[in-house]
Amino acid sequence: MTTKKPSDDQPLDLALKTIWGAKRWPGHADTTLVFEHPGWIHCLKGLDQIIALRSSGLLHGPHGTGKSYLLHRWTERISPKQHRLVRLSHCSLAGGDLLRHLVRLTGREPKFRKSDNVALLSACWKEWAPAWPVVVVEEAQDLSVASLEELRLLTCARTDAQQAFSLILSGDDALLPRLELAINRALLSRLTSNLEVAAWPQPLLGEYLEAKLVDCGIHSELLEPQARTLLVQAAKGTPRLLNSVLQKAMEHAAAEQRRKLSLTDVQAAINAVPWASLHQIR
């Protein structure tokens, strides 16, 4: 006969509160934590400068380093009286769909021909004046060659030397090499700013870890020293991965009704999180 542990019938959310007194799991998105650091502030200022100068630019970096969250926080700061934002996050569009989708996002009915859709968007930019149009395209590394060509056509639609809108392309490490290909170089030449969201150094990730625990309502020392070191190393400069491994380690400890996370808990979490195990430290 198998003996049940006290935690066998206890839901994880209840264990979170009874063991650590926490209000949320670290992997959940319902957080008010805004962790600004020098790299973050540099990118925010760079994005501000792009639209202030009515130019275009690139925001890129490894998965999980905070690009989408940074863009979210930045777009919250944009004045709707000075700028009109069009944000496209679905980039697995077929070749001729990007312009049509942009037209729909402006509240208009798209046409069949590319030239007609370019004309619709150009007319929209003029209607929005004096507000300046800002087009943000996320996960841009997944755009097809045809979609990138449509963006180039849109940037060419102007009657003088002045750019008609600001284009911000955001993507992972593959984005810049894709744009450097000869077929995409015409579009790349229209981007005047290159902002990189780099992997976080370990001391910064350690500070983020402490801030994250406080944000979750955990004020006691949660990790054994060796476990904390392994967690920060395993995150590979990625706050998203740190959150995922931390949560799995807490789940592992909760199953054993332990308040403090050990090296075993963190190692088990690394093995359980698919993309963490790819970077497992030997």
Q: How is the chain split into domains, by residue range?
A: 12-23+200-277, 38-196
The SS3 assignment for 169 reads strand
Q: Is the peptide bond before 110 cis (omega within 30 degrees of 0)?
A: no
Task: Indicate the pTM of the whole model.
Answer: 0.84
Report the pLDDT value the prediction gives residue 15, as an integer from 0 to 100.
81
pLDDT of residue 215: 87
SS3 69: helix
Q: How confident is the model at residue 96 (pLDDT cuts 50, 70, 90)?
A: low
Task: Please tell us whether the domain made up of 12-23+200-277 is placed in CATH 1.10.8.60.
Answer: yes
Angle value at C-alpha 73, between 171 and 42, nearest 5 degrees: 70
For residue 176, give every residue at least 6 positions away whose Cβ sits within 8 Å of its Cβ, in sequence order, or none: 58, 60, 194
Alpha carbons 242 and 236: distance in angstroms, whole number = 8
Q: Cα(219)–Cα(211) distance, rounded to whole angstroms?
A: 10
Higher pLDDT, 155 or 30: 155
Q: What is the pLDDT of residues 206-229, one digit of tens each?
A: 999 999 898 888 888 999 999 999
Task: Write the DSSP symbol of residue 53.
Answer: T
CATH superfamily ID and name for 38-196? P-loop containing nucleotide triphosphate hydrolases (3.40.50.300)
The pLDDT tens digits of the residues spanning 63-74 come to 888 898 899 889
158-202 per-position pLDDT tens digit: 766 678 999 999 999 999 999 999 999 999 999 999 999 999 999
Task: Tell me the per-residue pLDDT of 272-281, one tens digit each, with 9 for 90 and over.
Answer: 888 776 555 4
Assess whether pLDDT exceeds 60 at residue 33.
yes
pLDDT attached to residue 275: 74
Whether 38-196 and 12-23+200-277 are alike in CATH topology: the answer is no
How many other CB atoms are found less than 10 A from the CB of residue 184? 18
Q: Can you tell me whether residue 133 is helix, strand or coil? A: strand
Share of the chain above pLDDT 70, in %: 88
